[in-house]
């Protein structure tokens, strides 16, 4: 009988995490490292995350690259393979919000383009570059897009407008599904996580009136904490999810059930 706990062991695996210095990124990177993966953490000002992983006994490289520049992404893949020999896991976590003050009719076109470029184009460029490497390696891989419930439902935060962000997250979800079909023959699982409102991304301090209003619509009665996302990432990055692809895993405390 196979020891089921070994399915979550990532020893010898190499994981790339984008957006690793902010939002959900640090918790994701540290969880993967604790499971045994060697990390490449990608972001601006990401050195401290890599340092914390190394201080805890893990292996981590920090890279500051432009996710919308395909040349830099290809160079990142080359450096990662040179350092660790392979790439097994990609967690696309990088994104930006549009700022909630813009009604759709007043949304600057430059803001629209920037949000779509970073959130959707950047995720595709990174996935394409690393996907090519995974296909060439010939032993499959795991790609996880950290999207948002905003790709499935329209945000309801009073005074916040999020057209560009919602559209970009819906695009990530469809990107996930199409790539899951296209790359299944290569043994590459492509899935997405759709977090709900978390302490670090809800644009409201945990004890503020805005946060309390949000929790009224969350059946579990609280905002998400960083560790709430770690389990979802570990599942989709590990052998435990080998027959799961094209799935969008909601981590929202039940918010979208209503």
> What are the pLDDT digits (tens) for 191-214?
999 999 998 765 555 566 666 778
For the chain, give the percent of residues with pLDDT over 90: 82
Long-range CB contact pairs, 212-218, < 8 A, 24+: 213/158, 214/157, 217/156, 217/255, 217/258, 218/252, 218/253, 218/254, 218/255
Does position 133 have pLDDT exceeding 80, yes or no?
Answer: yes
Read off the pLDDT of each residue in 2-6 and give the average, rounded to a whole number: 74
Residue 153 domain-assigned (yes or no): yes
Read off the pLDDT of each residue in 130-147 and give the average, rounded to a whole number: 98
Number of domains the chain is built from? 1
Residue 56 domain-assigned (yes or no): yes
Average pLDDT, the chain: 93
Residue 171 domain-assigned (yes or no): yes
- DSSP secondary-structure letter at 216? T
Residue 257 domain-assigned (yes or no): no
Does position 83 have pLDDT exceeding 50, yes or no?
Answer: yes
Distance from C-alpha of 256 to C-alpha of 132, rounded to nearest angstrom: 35
Residue 155: give the domain boundaries: 4-251
Q: Which candidate, 144, 253, 257, places its Cα nearest to that of 195?
A: 253
Query: What's phi and psi for 53, nearest 5 deg?
Result: -70, -45
pLDDT at 1: 45
Does position 160 have pLDDT exceeding 90, yes or no?
Answer: no
- DSSP secondary-structure letter at 255? G
Read off the pLDDT of each residue in 159-178 and give the average, rounded to a whole number: 94
pLDDT at 155: 83
State pLDDT tens for residues 49-64.
999 999 999 999 999 9
pLDDT at 211: 66
Residue 200 domain-assigned (yes or no): yes
- Tell me which of 151-155, 172-176, 183-187, 207-211 is least confident: 207-211
Sign of the torsion angle spanned by Cα atoms 169, 67, 38, 97? negative
Q: Where are the beta strands (DSSP E) in the chain?
A: 14-18, 38-42, 60-63, 89-92, 141-146, 188-195, 248-251
Residue 105 domain-assigned (yes or no): yes
Residue 256 domain-assigned (yes or no): no
* CATH number for the domain that contains residue 214: 3.40.50.720
Read off the pLDDT of each residue in 227-240 and give the average, rounded to a whole number: 95
Residue 258 domain-assigned (yes or no): no
Check: CB of residue 147 under 8 Å from CB of residue 166. no
pLDDT at 208: 60
């Amino acid at each position: 009988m196979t020891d089921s706990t070994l399915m979550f062991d990532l020893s010898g695996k190499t994981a790339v995490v984008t957006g690793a210095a902010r939002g959900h990124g640090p918790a994701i990177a540290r969880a993967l490292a604790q499971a045994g993966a060697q990390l490449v953490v990608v972001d601006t000002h990401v050195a401290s995350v890599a340092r914390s992983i190394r201080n805890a006994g893990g292996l981590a490289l920090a890279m500051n690259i432009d996710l919308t520049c395909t040349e830099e992404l290809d160079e990142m893949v080359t450096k990662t393979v040179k350092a660790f020999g392979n790439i097994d896991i990609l967690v696309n976590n990088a994104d930006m919000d549009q700022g909630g003050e813009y009604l759709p009719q007043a949304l600057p076109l430059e803001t629209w383009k920037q949000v779509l470029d970073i959130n959707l184009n950047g995720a595709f460029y990174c996935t394409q570059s690393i996907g090519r490497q995974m296909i060439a390696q010939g032993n499959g891989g795991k790609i996880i897009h950290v999207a948002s419930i905003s790709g499935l439902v329209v945000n309801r935060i009073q005074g916040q407008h999020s057209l560009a962000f919602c559209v970009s997250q819906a695009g990530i979800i469809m990107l996930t599904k199409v790539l899951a079909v296209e790359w299944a023959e290569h043994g590459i699982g492509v899935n997405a996580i759709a977090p709900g409102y978390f302490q670090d991304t809800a644009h409201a301090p945990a004890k503020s009136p805005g946060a309390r209003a949000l929790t009224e619509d969350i059946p579990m009665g609280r905002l998400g904490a960083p560790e709430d996302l770690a389990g979802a990432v570990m599942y989709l990055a590990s052998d435990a999810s080998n027959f799961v692809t094209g799935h969008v895993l909601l981590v929202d405390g039940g918010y979208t059930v209503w």
